[in-house]
Amino acid sequence: MSPKVSIRPIQTDEIDQLIKISKQCFHQTFDPWRALEDVNTYIQRAYTREKLLSELKTTTSKMFFAFVDNQIAGYLKVNWGSSQTENNWPEAFEIQRIYVLKQFQGLHVGSALMHKAISMAKEEHFHRVWLGVWEHNDKAQKFYHYFGFKIEDEHTFMMGDTAQRDLMMVKDI
């Protein structure tokens, strides 16, 4: 039986927990596949206290923690308007980050975060949700297909100083 998952917005005074889970999830996801130097460079640039705090305060982004038994199990970052990381679809809603810690994967925490993202997009009257995923991240791609996302385009994502091909997956809602 799946555990009870609860989701709520991340507060600015939870910045330390956000930094910790951001780094942990990124390492868990990419260390087995990518040069550690690139992973570390990405983390040093993207997950600074200043950057994450400013993202938490941005009015065109929202971040959520998922909890299992009062433990932080995963997190979600969604963007719209000028906060989107690409502007292929200016009127769309982006899922920029959806990550579940390894020990909580397969327990429907990711599903709960995905449902949160889609329901928020609907409440805010968006009709299109998109995300970027590394071309070789098969596990995440299967998860997105399961939720009805389809590959529609591609873009370049900088993993540290190395360019990688990301697929842009889209779901109309």
Amino acid at 31: D
Q: Which residue is nearest to ligand COA (CB)?
A: 110
Q: Which of 63, 107, 117, 170 binds ligand COA (CB under 6 A)?
A: 107
Q: Kindly state whether residue 133 participates in binding ligand COA, applying the rule CB under 6 A.
A: yes
Q: Which of 146, 155, 156, 161 binds ligand COA (CB under 6 A)?
A: 146
Q: Kindly state whether residue 72 participates in binding ligand COA, applying the rule CB under 6 A.
A: no
Q: Which is nearer to ligand COA, 106 or 148 (CB)?
A: 106
Q: Which of 17, 41, 105, 162 binds ligand COA (CB under 6 A)?
A: 105
Would you call 146 a catalytic residue per the annotation?
no
Which residues are the active-site residues? 144
Given the rule CB under 6 A, which residues bind ligand COA? 29, 98-100, 105-111, 133, 137, 139-140, 142-143, 146
